[in-house]
Amino acid sequence: MAERLVGKPAPAFTMETVSGDGESFGQVSLSDYKGKWLIFFFYPMDFTFVCPTEITALSNRYDEFKKLNCEVLGVSTDSKFSHRAWIKTPVEENGLGKIQYPLASDNTHQVSKEYGVYFEPDGTAMRGLFIIDPEGVIRYQVVSDDAVGRSAEETLRVLQALQSGGLCPADWKPGQKHLVAK
């Protein structure tokens, strides 16, 4: 079972990345996101079936996240070279295609372990999503079955709720009232 990390400082990391267009390699650290919100999500592996649906869905909503001072970073235990090949492979050929944010490589499995999403039997990360606030504290954590992709719309809604500063009931949306503690 994944450890509860909500309310705790996010474990620091440094990983190699490939840009969302597949053109360049780089490196990313948690400290690069200081002062911004971060959607930090793990997925099992490249060249699979469910993963590209959620990666693309988050990319399609990327501008909305940016407007909320939020960045997005995806990570799996695959290498940066695998990420690049997947991005460069056409969608019709089971490729990912270009996205608007980088993919990171946790090929040492260290980051997946520290975030409690490492699945030892396969050497992969489970589907884990974390929302990290501008001070580096984990404010939201969800780990789900590999067969079910996550909702970009729900991730955006939760980010907006966290940023609203109030008590948000189920299905709360921006503009709606907060609950009042009695």
Cα(119)–Cα(126) distance, rounded to whole angstroms? Answer: 6
- Residue whose token pair is 């290498």: 79
Cα(58)–Cα(76) distance, rounded to whole angstroms? Answer: 16
Residue 51 a catalytic site member: yes
Q: Are 28 and 104 in contact (CB under 8 A)?
A: yes
**Is 99 exposed, middle or buried (CB count within 10 Å of its CB: 0-12, 13-18, 19+)?**
buried
Cα(159)–Cα(137) distance, rounded to whole angstroms? Answer: 13
Out of 51, 55, 99, 138, pick the active-site residue: 51
Q: Pairing relation of β-strands 103-105 and 70-76? A: parallel
Tokens found for residue 3: 């450890």
Question: Which residues are part of the catalytic machinery?
Answer: 51
